[in-house]
Amino acid sequence: MQPLQNMLLFQYLVKVFEEDFLPRKATMDWIIERESLLNMLLGSRKVNYKALMKNCLTIICELSQHQNDIEYQEVSISGLSKNCHTALSIALHEVGKNTCVSIEKLMVIIMELDMSRKQADIKGYTNRSDSLRTPLAEIILDELTYSDDIVPQFLQIFTEPKWKLEIIVQYLWKYITKPSVRTRRSNGSTEDESFSGALKCFSNKTSTKSTIKKIGLDMIQLLFAHGFQAQLSIFLEGHAEDKIAGHEGQVSSLVDLCTSVISAFDCLRSTDEQMEILSIGKEAIFTAATIISMNS
């Protein structure tokens, strides 16, 4: 019974944090956001922030991996009838799935809080009372980098498109071999460090081979497919009204995205002729081709 109680309590706490933070976030006022329950919790010295976030990532990936096949038949409670035992097993399975959703919600609002703090810091609104901590997106990226076996589970269970895409883009650019072109007026790279920019880098066979050696074909396909799904979701959510009105500029951007996805997969296949396209990769290619066909 203890695991069930802990998961239900966690879901309740996340709900409290979310309902307290979102109205504050809507004000776009860091002074109000810094007083949120979540910010006070994460800034407390009693909380090991990094360990908590790493545990959340581990748990959400483990629950994702087992939520379809875990049988809670091992839970033994004396005195329970067979029907009651079955009901408890079903309840634990359902609560486990809801816990995954709650962990994702917690991660999302923490990353939104991190973004608010970053923007406030740029504008000079922060002070010494605003404790410094590593942004959650960086912690997730580091964990996925050093434990790449959990990447498929994370991409499968984490569905919020904005932050999912951000993490995928950062992961890709961490391994993409790219020339850094600098000018006297700028110390920054001229590369387009977006998802579309990452896809275009795979038109270069030398860069593609280098990236394949670093993370492998299957990993790249997963990142392409999930990144495309997230980018497509963001596009459809953000430009729904424009699409209904037949806005040509937005349709053109969508077609360009789909073309880049197909070209990136083609380059992977031309680089390694024995490459086997994963089912999720085939779905991405089919979706992209369908969108292009519908708008041609």
Give the domain ranges of the chain: 2-148, 160-177+190-294
The Cα 6–Cα 48 span in angstroms is 19
pLDDT at 72: 43
pLDDT at 97: 87
Q: What is the distance in angstroms between the CA of the first residue and the CA of the last residue of the chain?
A: 57
The Cα 107–Cα 160 span in angstroms is 10
- Contact in structure between 75 and 92 (CB atoms under 8 Å): yes
The Cα 142–Cα 160 span in angstroms is 19
pLDDT at 142: 95
Tokens of 9: 């309590």
pLDDT at 191: 61
The Cα 271–Cα 204 span in angstroms is 10
Q: Which residues contact 96 (CB under 8 A, 6 or more apart)?
A: 7, 63, 67, 70
pLDDT at 89: 67
Each of the 296 residues of the chain gets a pLDDT tens digit; together they read 677 788 899 999 999 999 999 999 999 999 999 999 999 999 888 999 999 999 999 999 888 776 655 444 444 444 445 555 666 666 777 888 899 999 999 999 999 999 999 999 999 888 887 778 899 999 999 999 998 899 999 999 999 999 999 999 999 999 987 655 544 444 444 567 889 999 999 988 888 999 999 999 999 999 999 999 999 999 888 754 444 344 445 567 889 999 999 999 999 999 988 899 999 999 999 999 999 999 87
pLDDT at 4: 79
The Cα 126–Cα 119 span in angstroms is 9
Task: Report which DSSP code applies to 123.
Answer: T
pLDDT at 262: 95
- Contact in structure between 187 and 212 (CB atoms under 8 Å): no
SS3 254: helix
